[in-house]
Amino acid sequence: MVSSPVRWLLPLTLLTSLQAQAELQTPEISLTIDAYHKSDNTALGGRLEGWGLSHTELGVRQQFGNVATGKFTAVAEANEEETDFSIEEAYLQSLSLPAGLTLRGGRFLSDLGYLNGQHPHADSFSERPLLYRAFLGGHYYDDGLGLSMVMPTDLYWRISAEAFDGGELGEFEGNPTVGTWALSTSLGGDLSESQSWQAGVSYLRNRMLESGAEAHGHHHDHHDHGADGHHGHSHGAEYAGEHLYMADLVWKWAPRGNNRNQQLTLSAEYARVTDLNEYAGSDDYHEGWYGSAVYRFAPRWSAGVRHGRVDLKLGHGDHFHDGALKETTAMLAWNPTHTQTLRLQYTHQDVVEDWHDTFAGADNAVTLQYIISFGAHDAHAF
């Protein structure tokens, strides 16, 4: 397999031939700064205690006539302990395939679930829900190919298939050419002039765990528990299995469809991870869920609450121990302009079941977050 630094550069080598085939347009450059202060560390990753930058993005988008568009996104994260740089996106995407088809190649965010395909700065809370931090490292991107299709139906219906190298999901013993592949579909529509909805299901196959292979650092034979010790910039799954199933549901209300002054958004997701290792039976699986409500009560103000839980099977040799963590989050956000967000968030964690201090890092935290964006940005997803 081609080394990782080369893989994400491969799509960029196609730009020369595309320039010869299509009129080159002016590139769009964007910058998003995400600065914060967090009072305490919390379990299962997220932002570190203290001052820092989280998911600060520099992006370049280039369109090549009506043939394709290219996107490159570099991410910087820094806190009082470390600084990290990564390439999150480097892909080419088709613009003119027939029958509603879109082909994407390079490094990109997977379509899994409701939140994974959007950048974290577009979220309503300063950290992703527990299930994303536990099973997808916050958000899952990788090197591969993706094909999606918007179906010719009255309802919005999109299906997608993706094949990835798998290297960004975590460190595993297996190393197949196609490390992971994913299938996703979502449906949506309007219930009335003021109400809309979207529902989706997703599946991720982790082929790097076949034949009993384990994720490095995610078994618990030596009591080295990722839920307490991994913060900051790790994008790998803390708890993995061969199969990940996800379901999501979103409902939005805005008076007469005008969400500028007022909007209520209710969302929920569920995830289950199975076939954890060679000893796992049908009752040995991880699962997680969350539900959230966000209300924009004025053009520049919104408030929200989210509650979620993960139930984990912590491997210890040929058997498992139970672990469970709950998290409740409340936030208040002010948007002085369209490109700025000042958010105050409170997070409360409860350990339901523990084993050998897996959730020793569970705590309460207050986070003050400031986001500012410059330049052109993608439209936010539903």
Q: For residue 5, is pLDDT > 60? A: no
Confidence tier at 220 by pLDDT (50, 70, 90): very low
Confidence tier at 10 by pLDDT (50, 70, 90): low
Three-point CA angle 215, 217, 219, nearest 5°: 70
Q: Is the Cα dihedral 127, 130, 131, 136 positive or negative?
A: positive
Q: For residue 111, is pLDDT > 80? A: yes
Where is average pLDDT lowest: 11-15, 237-241, 263-267, 286-290? 11-15
What per-residue confidence (pLDDT) applies to 230? 46
User: pTM for the full model?
Assistant: 0.89
What per-residue confidence (pLDDT) applies to 317? 80
Cα dihedral: 119, 121, 125, 128 (round 10): 40
Q: Do residues 199 and 173 lie in contact, with contact meaning Cβ atoms separated by under 8 Å?
A: no
To the nearest whole number, what is the mean pLDDT of the chain? Answer: 88
Confidence tier at 216 by pLDDT (50, 70, 90): very low
Average pLDDT of span 164-190: 92
Distance CA 33, CA 77 (A): 10
Distance CA 212, CA 260 (A): 52
What per-residue confidence (pLDDT) applies to 217? 43
What per-residue confidence (pLDDT) applies to 11? 52
Q: For residue 314, is pLDDT > 70? A: yes
Q: Do residues 357 and 93 lie in contact, with contact meaning Cβ atoms separated by under 8 Å?
A: no
Where is average pLDDT lowest: 32-41, 194-203, 341-350, 358-367? 358-367
Percent of the chain scoring above 70 in pLDDT: 87
Q: Which of 297, 331, 180, 328 is nearest to 241 (CA)?
A: 180
Q: For residue 218, is pLDDT > 70? A: no
Distance CA 27, CA 15 (A): 13
Confidence tier at 7 by pLDDT (50, 70, 90): low
What is the topology classification, in CATH, of domain 99-365? Porin (2.40.160)
What per-residue confidence (pLDDT) applies to 319? 85
Confidence tier at 2 by pLDDT (50, 70, 90): very low
